[in-house]
């Protein structure tokens, strides 16, 4: 048997393990190089960073064939000493770091001494450089980390020029994928544009080889907005607002952020996020997501933001050494920093968009709907085709009996009685009218401020940590969901947390809600009567008393209409019709079956004569209405399906009809219930949980009132399994 054969041999019953051998250094280096220089744009980024580290004030980039044929970066920096040229392109040679501890305070972008070396393993590198005071420069080429020839004297202008030719010439697969995929040039332009926005005192240019015009050409300037205008155009700058924030809680502010963010007028399909942390161009996925979420929650869906943000932290708070190309960094207190930035952006957006009226826009509902709801679209058309779309009295469209398929308020959404159709429209209708008020009026109200401070002071830090960093596992039953945090599993009461989240959001968005427009005005009186019909406290026989109560409550709401409209976007017109409701959480509309109860609570339970109590009770009523209660229709899964059996007497009119089990079930009602339940499940996972992680400040009471219950610790479970 050949001892060098690495493949395992099956001989009789035995398997020879493959031999372990030391890789040749050139192979190791080439593998490592492939990691550092993943594509032409990563080479450009490394070279430009070297130029910036060398103190250049001009950096010019020329690219041929998306960087595969040629990348040339020239700068006017300090140049490279003649004596250093022999080791310039060896792995781990650098002028920026000598001891590991230096990493803690490093200011330069490079420090690993790997970039140039890597390029010589996967391409042909030629360096031309001159240092100050020299009469001539030197040119030298490198291959596999070493000089190919002695440095040749040559004429040179101040600084360094690095030329990389035939990148990945020796990595066939990489070259092929890059050739097949879109050319890397746009990515290169993108990098240079970002550098140009941040390093405003350096002038950058980037062009294709042989092109007379540069695709990025920035001149050194003292104004950030000029730099952004230069690269991204005047139309972007017009819609930017400045943002600045620092960590006020910390004695000596350790964290500072400054930059520009787009306002509500800015329209783009994709987010542009230019992030520099301690002057390093980096990605921070968590921060990017949080920002996108704030924009989606505050502004119309269609537009993604433009963000330029520069964050400064003490260098010992940033671990730059977690990624070979230093693309991602890890921060101390990342959660906290993200939270502060998120709040600052939210505040900024609200206050900078005081006059904008948003256009009506239909969003693509299919993108937001769970897959199983989309499937039902097919049936829904058929079912709705024979139905009328005239106005229906409110008493017939509000569900008062869970088993009664006729009678639900959903038809208000689009004036159609088709309940299934509504379910898609329900999501798309939310953008109908968005008008904003001057948040100053509302923002300065001290009682609202006190309520927000109470939320903060009651927040349970342990639970906050659990909520922020948990993973959603799934629904345990109708009310509880299972989440995992580190090695612990918790049951979370969905109704309680969503109620609290909505309450807090109602106070946070106070005076600045987007609106859900009801497509037909809903008379308060009818809604109140509906609610009272279900109310067991009011004696059933006494209809007159009910009418009286309804009238009183309707009057109370009409009297306070201006206030509830202004602060909570609950719009009641002069005739006592409900017209609009607030968007408390983006992408979410409350269960309209609960609207009558909500109106009754607003009329009955809100304290109107004390400002703070009024805000608290109104926000609580909103919280209760918008919470993710189980749908009124019973859960049809498992034995729940029995509840959807038809009432035989009524269905057959006394005649004897042979029925299969299938026919016994009220299919329409069942389909509706299934949709409601699956939609709720989808919403819990995709809307409630992400929002909870970003916004909820769980009160201390939730640790003891059964809202969060720790059910298992994985360590203990493992121990149990070990024993088994
Ligand atoms: P690093 O930047 O991590 O130190 P590199 O391989 O990118 O490693 O560069 C190695 C060294 O070469 C740098 O430390 C620097 O001293 C020198 N160098 C590279 N590019 C330039 C340049 N454009 N101007 C001056 N010196 C440079
Ligand atoms: Mg470098």
Q: Is 56 in the pocket of ligand 1 (CB under 6 A)?
A: no
Give the closest residue (by CA) to ligand 1 atom 20: 50
Please give the average per-residue pLDDT across 577-589, as a whole number: 88
What is the pLDDT at residue 186? 93
Residue nearest to atom 16 of ligand 1 (CA): 95
Closest ligand, as measured to the CA of 74: 1
Per DSSP (E only), the strands in 545-640 are 571-572, 577-583
Ligand with minimal distance to 55 CA: 1
| Nearest atom of ligand 1 to the alpha carbon of 79 | 25
* Ligand 1 atom closest to Cα of residue 109: 2
Residue 539: predicted pLDDT: 55
Spell out which residues have Cβ within 5 A of ligand 2, the ion.
Answer: 50, 110, 115
Q: Which residue, chain included where needed, has tokens 């609202």?
A: 448
**Whole-Å CA distances, 669 to 233, 638, 673:** 55, 16, 6
Which of the pair, 440 or 576, is modelled with greater confidence?
Answer: 576
Residue 654 scores a pLDDT above 50: no
Mean pLDDT, range 631-645, rounded to an integer: 79
Query: Cα–Cα distance between 313 and 105 in angstroms, integer?
Result: 11
Non-local CB neighbours of 467 within 8 Å, separated by 6+ positions = 692, 693, 696, 698
Ligand nearest to the CA of 130: 1
112: Cβ below 6 Å to ligand 1? Answer: yes
311 Cα to the center of ligand 1, angstroms? 25
Pocket test for ligand 1, best of 116, 121, 321, 326 (most atoms within 8 A of CB): 116
Ligand 1 proximity of 113 Cβ (cutoff 6 Å): yes
Secondary structure of residue 674 in the 3-state scheme: helix
Q: Which residue, 97, 133, 130, 127, is CA-closest to 114?
A: 97
pLDDT score of 398 more than 50: no
The verdict on the CB of residue 94 being under 6 Å from ligand 1 is: yes
Give pairs for 190-196: CB < 8 Å, separation 24+. Answer: 190/41, 191/41, 191/44, 191/45, 191/48, 191/281, 192/44, 192/48, 192/61, 192/216, 193/231, 193/232, 194/274, 194/281, 195/48, 195/52, 195/59, 195/281, 196/227, 196/230, 196/231
The per-residue pLDDT for 656 is 47
List the one residue out of 44, 360, 286 whose CA is nearest residue 189. 44
Residue 49 CA to ligand 2 centre (angstroms): 6
CA dist 567 and 397 (Å) reads 29
* Average pLDDT of span 366-376: 36
pLDDT tops 70 at residue 422: no
- Give the whole-number percent of the chain exceeding pLDDT 70: 76
Residues 322 and 112: beta-carbon distance below 8 Å: no
pLDDT computed for residue 708 by the predictor: 92
Q: Ligand 1 in contact with 51 (CB < 6 A)?
A: yes
Contact 176, 39 (CB under 8 A): no
A 10 A CB-CB count for 327 gives 14
Which residues, 6+ apart, have CB-to-CB distance to 179 below 8 Å?
A: 68
With a 6 A CB cut-off, is 54 part of the ligand 1 pocket?
yes
What number of CA atoms fall less than 13 Å from residue 2's CA on the CB side?
Answer: 5
**Pocket residue to mutate for ligand 1, from 50, 103, 128, 157, most atoms within 8 A of Cβ:** 50
* Ligand 1 contacts CB of residue 125 (under 6 A): no
CB-ligand 1 contact for 115 (6 Å cutoff): yes
Ligand 1 centre distance from Cα of residue 314 (Å): 24
| pLDDT band (50, 70, 90) for residue 204 | very high
Atom 8, ligand 1: residue with shortest CA distance: 113
Q: What are phi and psi of 318, to 5 degrees?
A: -120, 125
pLDDT digits (tens, 9 = 90+) for 282-312: 888 888 888 988 888 777 555 789 999 999 8
Could you report the per-residue pLDDT of 665-690, keeping only the tens digit for each? 777 788 888 888 888 888 898 889 88
Mean pLDDT of all residues in 584-600: 88
Mean pLDDT of the chain: 78
Q: What mean pLDDT comes out for the span 339-344?
A: 90
Query: Given the CA of residue 95, which atom of ligand 1 is nearest to it?
Result: 14
Buried b / exposed e along 611-620 (16+ C-beta atoms within 10 A): ebebbbbbbb
Cα angle at 537 between 536 and 538, to 5 degrees? 90
37 C-alpha to ligand 2 centroid (Å): 12
pLDDT band at 264 (very low <50, low <70, confident <90, very high): confident
Task: Please give the number of the atom of ligand 1 that sits closest to the Cα of 117.
Answer: 6
Q: Identify whether the C-beta of residue 622 lies closer than 8 Å to the C-beta of residue 606.
A: no
- Going by C-beta distance under 8 Å and a sequence separation of 6 or more, which residues neighbour residue 257? 243, 244, 245, 246, 309, 310, 311, 312, 340, 341, 344
Nearest to 417 by CA among 390, 399, 395: 390
Tell how far the Cα of 103 is from the centroid of ligand 2, in angstroms: 14
Residue nearest to atom 11 of ligand 1 (CA): 94
Among candidate residues 248, 216, 186, 226, the one with its CA nearest the CA of residue 308: 226
CA of 17 to the centre of ligand 2 (A): 41
Other C-beta atoms closer than 10 Å to the C-beta of 83 total 7
Give the up-direction half-sphere exposure of residue 667: CA atoms within 13 A in the CB hemisphere.
Answer: 7
Is the Cβ atom of 96 under 6 angstroms away from ligand 1?
A: yes
- Residue 503's Cβ-count burial label (10 Å; 0-12, 13-18, 19+) is buried
Which of 276, 284, 272 shows the shortest CA–CA distance to 189? 272
Residue with tokens 């509500």: 264
- The mean pLDDT value for 322-344 works out to 75
Task: Tell which one of 29, 73, 91, 110 to mutate to probe ligand 1, the residue whose CB is within 8 A of the most ligand atoms.
Answer: 110
- The arithmetic mean of pLDDT across residues 244-262, rounded, is 81
User: Once rounded to an integer, what is the mean pLDDT over residues 174-188?
Assistant: 83
Residue 221 Cα to ligand 2 middle (Å): 25
Nearest to 195 by CA among 296, 69, 319, 45: 45
pLDDT tens digits, 379-394: 333 333 333 333 444 4
Nearest C-alpha neighbor of 92 from the set 66, 111, 120, 65? 111
Instruction: Provide Rg for the chain, Cα atoms.
Output: 33
Q: Dihedral (C-alpha) 223, 227, 233, 238: value to the nearest 10 degrees?
A: -30
Whether residue 60 has its Cβ less than 6 Å from ligand 1: no
Task: Give residue 483 CA to ligand 1 midpoint distance, Å.
Answer: 48
**Alpha carbon distance, N-terminus to C-terminus of the chain:** 44
Nearest protein CA to atom 23 of ligand 1, as residue: 51
- Top mean pLDDT of 14-28, 83-97, 635-649 is at 83-97
pLDDT of res. 724: 53
Please give the pLDDT value at position 383. 30
Ligand 2 center to 53 CA (angstroms): 8
Check: CB of residue 506 under 8 Å from CB of residue 619.
yes
Q: Between vectors from CA 216 to CA 215 and to CA 222, what angle results, nearest 5°?
A: 160
Q: Distance between CA 673 and CA 680 in Å, rounded?
A: 11
**Interval 439-454: pLDDT, tens:** 334 445 788 889 999 9
Task: Read off the pLDDT band of 707 (50, 70, 90).
Answer: very high
Q: Separation of 59 CA from ligand 1 center, angstroms?
A: 15
Q: Which ligand is nearest to the CA of 54?
A: 1
What gap in Å lies between CA 76 and CA 386, rounded to an integer?
Answer: 76
Interval 510-559: pLDDT, tens: 888 888 888 788 999 999 998 888 666 555 567 788 888 899 999 999 99
DSSP annotation of 1 = -
Long-range contacts of 329-332 (CB under 8 A, 24+ apart): 329/277, 329/280, 329/282, 329/284, 331/277, 331/284
d(CA 63, CA 70): 6
Of 366, 277, 294, 293, the closest CA to residue 329 belongs to 277
Token pair, residue 178, equals 């890059």
Nearest atom of ligand 1 to the alpha carbon of 111? 3
Interval between CA 190 and ligand 1 midpoint (Å): 22
Distance 216 CA to ligand 1 centre (A): 24
Q: Which residue has the higher pLDDT, 107 or 485?
A: 485
For ligand 1, the distance from its centroid to the CA atom of residue 50, given in whole angstroms, is: 5
Is-contact 576 553, C-beta < 8 A? Answer: no
């Amino acid at each position: 048997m050949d001892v060098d054969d690495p493949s395992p041999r099956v001989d009789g019953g035995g398997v020879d393990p493959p031999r372990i051998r030391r890789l040749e250094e050139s192979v190791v280096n080439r593998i490592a190089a492939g990691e550092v220089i993943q594509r032409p744009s990563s080479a450009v980024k490394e070279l430009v960073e070297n130029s910036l580290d060398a103190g250049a004030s001009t950096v010019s980039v020329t690219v041929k064939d998306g960087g595969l044929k040629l990348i040339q970066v020239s700068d006017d920096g300090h140049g490279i000493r003649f004596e250093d040229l022999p080791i310039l392109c060896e792995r781990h040679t650098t002028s920026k770091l000598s001891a590991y501890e230096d990493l803690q305070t490093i200011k330069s972008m490079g420090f690993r001494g790997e970039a140039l070396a890597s390029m010589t393993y996967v391409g042909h590198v030629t360096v031309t450089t001159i240092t100050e005071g020299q009469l001539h420069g030197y040119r030298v080429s490198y291959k596999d980390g070493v000089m190919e020839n002695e440095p040749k004297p040559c004429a040179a202008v101040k600084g360094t020029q690095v030329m990389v030719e035939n990148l990945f010439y020796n990595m066939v697969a990489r070259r092929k994928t890059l050739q097949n995929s879109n050319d890397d040039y746009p990515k290169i332009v993108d990098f240079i544009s970002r550098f140009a926005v941040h390093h405003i005192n350096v002038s950058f240019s980037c062009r294709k080889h042989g092109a007379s015009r540069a695709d990025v050409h920035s001149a050194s300037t003292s104004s950030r907005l000029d730099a952004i205008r230069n690269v991204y155009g005047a139309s972007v700058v017009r819609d930017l607002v400045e943002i600045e924030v620092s960590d006020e809680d910390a004695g000596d502010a350790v964290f500072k952020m400054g930059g520009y963010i787009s306002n509500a007028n800015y329209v783009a399909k994709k987010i542009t996020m230019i992030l520099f942390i301690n002057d390093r161009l980096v990605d921070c996925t968590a921060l990017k997501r949080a920002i996108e979420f704030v924009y989606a929650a505050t502004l119309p869906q269609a537009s993604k933001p433009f963000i330029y943000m520069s964050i400064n932290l003490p260098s010992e708070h940033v671990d730059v050494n977690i990624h070979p190309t230093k693309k991602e960094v890890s921060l101390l207190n990342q959660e906290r920093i993200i939270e502060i930035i998120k709040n600052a952006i939210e505040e900024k957006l609200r206050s900078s968009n005081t006059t904008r009226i948003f256009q009506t826009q239909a969003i693509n509902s299919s993108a937001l709907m769970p897959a199983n709801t989309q499937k039902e679209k097919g049936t829904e058309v058929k079912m709705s085709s024979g139905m009328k779309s005239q106005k229906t009295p409110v008493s017939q469209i509000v569900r008062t009996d869970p088993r009664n398929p006729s009678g639900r308020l959903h038809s208000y959404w689009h004036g159609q009685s088709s309940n299934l159709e509504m379910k898609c429209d329900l999501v798309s209708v939310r953008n109908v009218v968005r008008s904003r008020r001057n948040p100053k009026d509302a923002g300065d109200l001290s009682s609202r401020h006190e309520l927000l401070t109470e939320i903060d002071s009651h927040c349970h830090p342990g639970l906050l940590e659990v909520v922020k960093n948990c993973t959603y596992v799934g629904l345990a039953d109708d009310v509880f969901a299972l989440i995992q945090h580190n090695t612990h599993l918790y049951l979370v009461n969905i109704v309680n947390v969503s109620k609290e989240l909505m309450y807090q959001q109602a106070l946070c968005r106070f005076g600045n809600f987007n609106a859900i427009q009801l497509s037909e005005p809903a008379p308060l009186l009818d809604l109140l009567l509906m609610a009272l019909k279900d109310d067991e406290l009011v004696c059933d026989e006494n209809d007159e008393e009910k009418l009286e109560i309804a009238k009183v409550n309707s009057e109370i709401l009409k009297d306070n209409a201006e206030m509830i409209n202004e602060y909570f976007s609950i719009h009641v017109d002069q005739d006592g019709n409900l017209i609009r409701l607030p968007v408390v959480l983006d992408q979410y509309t409350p269960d309209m079956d609960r609207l009558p109860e909500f109106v009754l609570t607003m009329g009955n339970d809100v304290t109107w004569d004390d400002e703070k109590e009024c805000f608290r009770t109104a926000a609580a009523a909103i919280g209760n209405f918008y919470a993710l209660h189980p749908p009124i229709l019973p859960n049809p899964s498992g034995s729940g399906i029995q509840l959807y059996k038809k009432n035989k007497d009524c269905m057959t009119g006394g005649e004897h009809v042979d029925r299969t089990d299938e026919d016994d079930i009220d299919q329409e009602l069942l389909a509706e219930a299934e949709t409601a339940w699956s939609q709720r499940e989808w919403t819990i996972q995709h809307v409630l949980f992400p929002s909870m992680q970003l916004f909820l400040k769980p009160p201390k009471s939730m640790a003891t009132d059964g809202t969060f219950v720790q059910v298992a610790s994985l360590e203990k479970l493992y121990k149990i399994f070990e024993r088994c």
